[in-house]
Amino acid sequence: MSQQPPTPPPGFYPYPPQQPPKKKHTGRTVLITLSAVFVVLIGAIAGCTVLVMGGGSDGSGGNDNGAPPPLGSAKQQAQKKGAAAPTKQKAHAASKPTVTFRVEGTASSVDTTYGSDSDNRQAPDKVPWQTTLSRDDSGDTLYYFVNAQLNGGGDITCEVLVGSKVVATGHASGSYNICSAQVGQDPFTDKWEKE
């Protein structure tokens, strides 16, 4: 005879009944989180747009970099009436912004390319070499560069100058090595920096 455990009295369970699992609201949580991130990103983009587009607290709409003042400004109205323009404005108008590309060294021959993100040019294969272009500070040009490849040996240095200031330099020596220098314009400060 085998012994069976005694049957429990009616309504008694050896273990308490388990509660059904709680519903997880993962779909709703994910949707709320993504919505909050989206709202924060839109706010950040709007704030950056105001800064980049020149919503400065002085109401001038940007820095004084030689560009004409915004329409309807006091400076522009004074210029229309024949008043003398500020000397700082005249100085910027007289000297256009430039970028200079330079390659120097002991190589007998180099292949040099230079320009911007939208304009690539070939330079003569002599060293030393230098040329200057008008600089676009409107924000349309992202970077300026110079690349020089040695043809068989030597030692070269390449530079990009913004105005008269050397902003980026590079160096190459050996047989067919490449010297590179590149500058880009910071969209928030409008300053040209080494990249």
Instruction: State the CATH architecture for 96-194.
Output: Sandwich (2.60)
Q: What is the pLDDT of residue 12?
A: 65
Q: What is the pLDDT of residue 4?
A: 76
Q: What phi and psi values does residue 82 have, to the nearest 5 degrees?
A: 95, 5
Spell out the domain ranges in the chain.
26-91, 96-194
What does the alpha-carbon distance between residue 111 and residue 124 come to, in Å, rounded to a whole number?
A: 8
Least confident of 126-130, 153-157, 163-167, 186-190: 186-190
E-strand ranges in the chain read 98-105, 110-116, 119-122, 129-134, 143-150, 155-162, 165-173, 178-185, 192-194
Q: Is the pLDDT of residue 8 over 90?
A: no
CA 66 to centroid of chain Cα atoms: 22
Question: pLDDT tens across 52-74, in order?
Answer: 555 444 444 433 443 334 434 44
Question: pLDDT tens across 12-60, in order?
Answer: 666 666 777 776 667 777 778 888 888 877 877 777 665 555 544 444 4
| Band of pLDDT at residue 143, cut at 50, 70 and 90 | very high
Nearest to 101 by CA among 118, 69, 124: 124
Contact between residue 66 and residue 90 where contact means Cβ atoms under 8 Å apart: no
Q: What is the pLDDT of residue 136?
A: 86
Question: pLDDT tens across 151-174, in order?
Answer: 988 999 999 999 999 999 999 999
pTM tops 0.75, yes or no: no
